Amino acid sequence: MNGIAIRQLKSTASLMVALAGLYALAGCKVVTIDEDRALRARRGGDFDAQHYVDAIWASKVVPAINDKARPVSNVIAAVDADLDKAGAILGRRVGEGSAWTFVVSGDGVVEKVDNAPPRGGIDVALPGAAPGRVIRLQTGPVVSETAIRDALPFVTFNDFTDQLAFAEVGRALTARALTGLKPMLGQVQPGRHIRFVGVANIRRAADPLVVTPVSIAADDAARAP
C-alpha cells in the first residue's frame, strides 16, 4: 500500500470517529453540575430526593410548570365536556389507567381558608363560575397525590432505581412547592383576590378540582369588596 492510500485511510478513519462523536453529542442533554450529581445519586444507593429536587427546581421544574399552565376555566370546560379528550389535548397521563394531569393557572376570590391539620386548603371562587363551584388549593401539611411530579415529562419512573425512590421524588416536589409558598399562605384571607399556578390530577370529570399550588400571589388592587 503506497503512502497516498495510507493517508486516505487515516483521513477516512478520522472522519468516522468525528462523526461518531457528533452523533453521540446529539443524543446527550446538557445538565448543570448539581443536576449531574443528583442524576448520579438517583441511579446509585445514596439517593437524596430532596437534593435531587433542589437541583432541578428553579432551572427546570418552575419554567416547565409555567410554560405548561393553561387557564383553569378552559380546563374545567374541557373536562366537563370530555375528560379523556381534554386530557389528550391539555394534559398528560403518566400511564394507562392513571389520572389525567393538568397544569392550570387562574385567579379568583378566596372563599375559605382551612388551616385545620392535616389537610389544609384554600377554597377559591373563580370569575364566571357557577354558584358553589370552587377549586381547592391544597396547602398541607398532608397533601394527596403527586401531581407536580406527574406533570413533568423529564421525571420518569425508569430514571430511578425503584418505586420507593420515585415516590420520594413526588413527595419532595410537593414539599418544595409548599415550602416556597409559606410566606404567602400566612397572608391569604377570605375575600382576598389571588392568582395561582398549580397542578391537578383528575380521574373523573365530576370530582372536585383539587390543585397542588406552585405559586400564589395576592392582587390587592383587585381585592373583593
User: What are the 10-residue block averages of pLDDT along the chain, 225 residues in total?
Assistant: 50 47 45 56 71 96 97 94 96 91 96 88 87 86 89 92 92 94 90 96 92 90 39
* pLDDT score at 77: 93
Query: The cell 413533568 sits on which residue?
Result: 152
Contact (CB, 8 A) for 108 and 127: yes
DSSP letters, 179-191, are: HHHHHHHTT--TT
pTM above 0.85, yes or no: no
CATH label, 62-222, candidates 2.40.50.420, 2.60.120.580, 1.20.1250.20, 3.50.50.60:
2.40.50.420
Task: Show me where the domains of the chain are located.
Answer: 1-30, 62-222
* pLDDT score at 21: 45
Residues listed for the chain = 225
CA distance linking residue 198 with residue 2, whole number of Å: 70
* pLDDT score at 138: 94
